[in-house]
Amino acid sequence: GDSVTQMEGPVTLSEEAFLTINCTYTATGYPSLFWYVQYPGEGLQLLLKATKADDKGSNKGFEATYRKETTSFHLEKGSVQVSDSAVYFCALNYGGSQGNLIFGKGTKLSVKP
């Protein structure tokens, strides 16, 4: 069945370092892909999304490109801040049931000053 695999955490970086969180997916169709972020004590928030191959989603300095050939949607940011410390979830939306998302297990990011 459809699934999402993302890199294990936790990831610890210094402020202004480059961030990559890997995400690959398995899907029979052409899913939409999402990155959600969860700050401590809160629910998840949509960070960015891409709905078709080669689309690039971007928000708050984060980017991810939908790569159909490698079935990947890696999250990147050029210069992280302490305020980016959170748990990041990659997800896909399969078309069989509207709104149902399959989430990866999450990657915890800690950014040190």
Partner 1 sequence: NAGVTQTPKFQVLKTGQSMTLQCAQDMNHEYMSWYRQDPGMGLRLIHYSVGAGITDQGEVPNGYNVSRSTTEDFPLRLLSAAPSQTSVYFCASSYSGGSSYNSPLHFGNGTRLTVT
Residues at the contact surface with partner 1, assessed by CB under 8 A: 32, 34, 36, 41-46, 49, 51, 89, 93, 95, 97-101, 103-106
Shortest Cβ distance from residue 109 to partner 1 (Å)?
15
- Cis omega (within 30 of 0) for bond into 31: no
Residues with Cβ within 8 Å of 97's Cβ and at least 6 positions away in sequence, in order, are: none
Shortest Cβ distance from residue 4 to partner 1 (Å)?
8
Query: Is 44 or 75 the residue whose CB approaches partner 1 more closely?
Result: 44
Could you give the C-alpha distances from 57 to 10, 50, 51, 80, in angstroms and in order? 24, 5, 9, 17
Shortest Cβ distance from residue 93 to partner 1 (Å)?
7
First to last CA, the chain: 41
Query: Is 44 or 111 the residue whose CB approaches partner 1 more closely?
Result: 44
